[in-house]
Structure 1
Amino acid sequence: MVQPHSPTVRGRRLARELRELRERADLRPEDAAQRLGWSRQKVMRIERALTKASSNDLNAAMDLYGVPSPQREALLQLAKDAWKRGWWTAYRDIFAGTYLSLEDEASQIREWQPQVVPGLLQTPDYAREVVMAFTCKAADIERRVAARMTRRSILSRPNAPELHVVLDEAILHRRMGSAETMRAQFDSLLTDSRRPHVELRVLPFHRGRHPGLNGGFVVLSFEVGIDPDIAYLETPGGDIYLESEDDVTRRRVVFDELSEMAMSPDESEARIERAAREITDG
C-alpha cells in the first residue's frame, strides 16, 4: 500500500533513479502503469517522491525495467534508508513540508537573511521572540522553540555541513525582546562564527542597492551523487523549492554577489561585537 510522506534527500534520489530507469527502458509513464497494473498517477507520484512505494512495488518496477544486481540491491537499500525517521518527525504537528529533512542531509548551506537571525543560529530567547510574531499560544510557542534548538544540533555533529551566512545589518538593529536577549544572541553569533565550518558575514547599510532586496533564500548542496542543489524560499504563501539548474544557479550567483559586497568575516565579527556593546536597556 502506498503512503503519503515528506521525501528525504534519499527518497528524492530513489524517485529520480526510478524515473531514469523507466526512461532508459523506453517506457512512457502510461506504458509502465499498464504493464505494472498501476494507475499513471501512481507512477508519477512515486517518481516525484510524493508517494512511498512498497517493497513489492519497487521490486515489480525493477523487474519491468530490467534492473540487474548489484544496482537492484543498492536501490532496495536506498529505499530502506529513505524512510528512516529523522528528528523532525517528532514535530510533524508544527513543521510542514520537506525543508528540514533536506537541510539535515545537506553538505553545504548558503543563506541570505535580511530580516532575522537564521533559525540555525538563534538562541532560545531570540527564537521565542520570532515565533511570538506568528502565534500567541504558549504551548505552541515553546514547542516551536524546542524544535529550533533541536535543529541547531547539526552544527555540532562530526559531519556538520558548511554553513555560509550573509546577514543584513538591519538584523543587528532590530530589537527582538530585551537587551539581555539581544546581547546573548550576539554572543551566540560570535561563538558560532568561530566554528571551523561556519562563515558569517554582515552586509552593511552603506552598500545601498544589492541583489538580495527581493527577499531571503537558502541554497542547499549535497554530496556528489546524492542530490542536485536546491534553492529554498520561505514566503507568506508557503514554501517554494527551486530545482531547475537555471533557477538554482541564479540564487548561487546572487549569494556570491552578496558575499562579495558584505564585510569580511573578521570585519563582521567586529561589527557584531560593536552591536552588542551598543545595546541599551529599556
Structure 2
Amino acid sequence: MPTRRVVTSRSREPRARFAEELRAMRVQRGESLRQLGERGGWDWSLFGKMEKGETVGGPEVVQALDTYYGTPGLLLAVWELAVSGKAQFRERYRRYMSLEADAVSLWHFAVSVPPGLLQTPGYAREVLAAGGLRGEELDQQVEARMGRRELLASDDAPPFRTILSEAVLRTPLRDAAEWRAQLEYLLDAGERRNVTVQVLPFSAGLHGLLSADMWYLRLPDARTVAYAENGYQGELIEETAPVERLQLRYDAVRDMALSPAESRKFILRLLEEVTCDPST
C-alpha cells in the first residue's frame, strides 16, 4: 500500500515548488532521469525540463507520475496550482492542498456545486467554463480535476462525507445527458465504502453554513482544520476555537440532512425526472 505524502514547503512559488517536488520524489527513489523515463515509459528529457522549471508538462504525464510514485492526485494538485493564472487564488489554496493530501478523513458541505472530487468531466468543464476558462487552459484544468478524484479511489483512500444542499441538485447543466451522468456518478460514489453522500433539503430551513462551501480535514496529528470557499476566494482556518465552532455548525447541518439511504432515494427521483422529461 503506497504511503500518502505531504507536499513540502520549500518554495512559495507554485511552479518552482512543482519542479522541486518532482526532483525530490525521484531522488528519494534513487533513480536517474534516464531510469525514470525507462520505467515510466516517457522521454527522460521531458522530466529533466520539468525539474528545471522549463516546462510543467501536461496533466497526462503528471498523472502517470502520481501513479508511479504512489501519490494519487498529489502531483496533479501541485501542477494545477503551477499552471493557474490566478496568483492570489493559488497562494490561498496552496497550503490547503498540502493538508488535503495528508488528511485521514474529509468532510464537506456544498452550497451550489458538488465537490470537485465527485464531479464528472462534463460537469467540471461547464462549471470551469462558467468561471471564465477557455481553450487549452480549460482542458488542462478539467484533466487535473479528474486526476484529483484518484484521492478517493486509492487503496488507502480516506473516508469522505459530503452534504449537498438541495440547490446543488436543482441546478442542472445545460446538457441534459451530462446532467444525468453527474447524478448517476453521485449515486455510484455513494456506494463506495469510504464515501458518504447526504442531501440537505430546502425544507431544513436556515442553518449555519449558508454562505460558503466548507471543507474539514482531519489530520494525522488529530487536529482538524477548516477551509471556507466561495466563487472568489478561500480561507484556511486552523485556529482551534473557530474550527470547533464551524464543526458544531456542520454537525447541526448533518443532523438536519437526509440519511444516506434517503439521500440516495432523493437523487434517484431527480434522475427519473430528468430521464422522463420529454424536453431532454
**1:106 CA displacement:** 0.9
> Is residue 2:49 matched to residue 1:90?
no
User: For residues 136 and 120 of structure 1, what CA distance do their matches in structure 2 show?
Assistant: 19
User: For residues 109 and 256 of structure 1, what CA distance do their matches in structure 2 show?
Assistant: 14
> Is residue 2:250 matched to residue 1:266?
no
User: For residues 233 and 204 of structure 2, what CA distance do their matches in structure 1 show?
Assistant: 30
**1:107 CA displacement:** 0.9
SS at match of 1:213: coil
**CA 1:141 to 1:87, structure 2 compared with 1: closer, same or farther past 3 Å?**
closer
Matching residue within 170, 182, 187 for 1:173 = 170
The answer to whether the 8 Å contact 1:192/1:198 transfers is yes
The answer to whether the 8 Å contact 2:212/2:229 transfers is no
Letter of the structure 2 residue corresponding to residue 88 of structure 1 = A
Deviates more, 1:269-278 or 1:127-136: 127-136
User: For residues 146 and 133 of structure 2, what CA distance do their matches in structure 1 show?
Assistant: 19
Aligned to 2:97: 100
The answer to whether the 8 Å contact 1:86/1:101 transfers is no
Letter of the structure 2 residue corresponding to residue 90 of structure 1 = W
The answer to whether the 8 Å contact 1:126/1:177 transfers is no
> Is residue 2:117 matched to residue 1:109?
no
> Is residue 2:271 matched to residue 1:276?
yes
Letter of the structure 2 residue corresponding to residue 232 of structure 1 = Y
> Is residue 2:252 matched to residue 1:254?
no
Aligned to 2:47: none
User: For residues 136 and 106 of structure 1, what CA distance do their matches in structure 2 show?
Assistant: 29
Aligned to 1:162: 159
Aligned to 1:223: 220
Aligned to 1:212: 209
> Is residue 2:230 matched to residue 1:235?
yes
Aligned to 1:190: 187
Which structure has the bigger radius of gyration? Answer: 1
Gaps of 5+ in 2: 1-9, 19-73
Please list every run of at least 4 consecutive aligned residues from structure 1 whose deviation after the TM superposition is greater than 4 angstroms.
Answer: 5-8
Letter of the structure 2 residue corresponding to residue 86 of structure 1 = L
**1:122 CA displacement:** 0.1
- CA RMSD in angstroms, aligned pairs only: 2.2
**CA 1:215 to 1:3, structure 2 compared with 1: closer, same or farther past 3 Å?**
closer
Matching residue within 143, 148, 151 for 2:145 = 148
Deviations 1:228-272 (CA, angstroms, capped at 9, x unpaired): 221101235522111110111111111111111000000000000
User: For residues 247 and 264 of structure 1, what CA distance do their matches in structure 2 show?
Assistant: 27
Aligned length, in residue pairs: 204
User: For residues 231 and 192 of structure 2, what CA distance do their matches in structure 1 show?
Assistant: 32
The answer to whether the 8 Å contact 2:227/2:235 transfers is yes
TM-score (norm 1): 0.67
**1:89 CA displacement:** 2.8
Identity rate, percent: 32
SS at match of 1:200: strand
> Is residue 2:1 matched to residue 1:4?
no
Deviates more, 1:211-220 or 1:88-97: 88-97
**1:88 CA displacement:** 2.2
The answer to whether the 8 Å contact 1:114/1:215 transfers is yes
SS at match of 1:217: strand
User: For residues 172 and 267 of structure 2, what CA distance do their matches in structure 1 show?
Assistant: 14
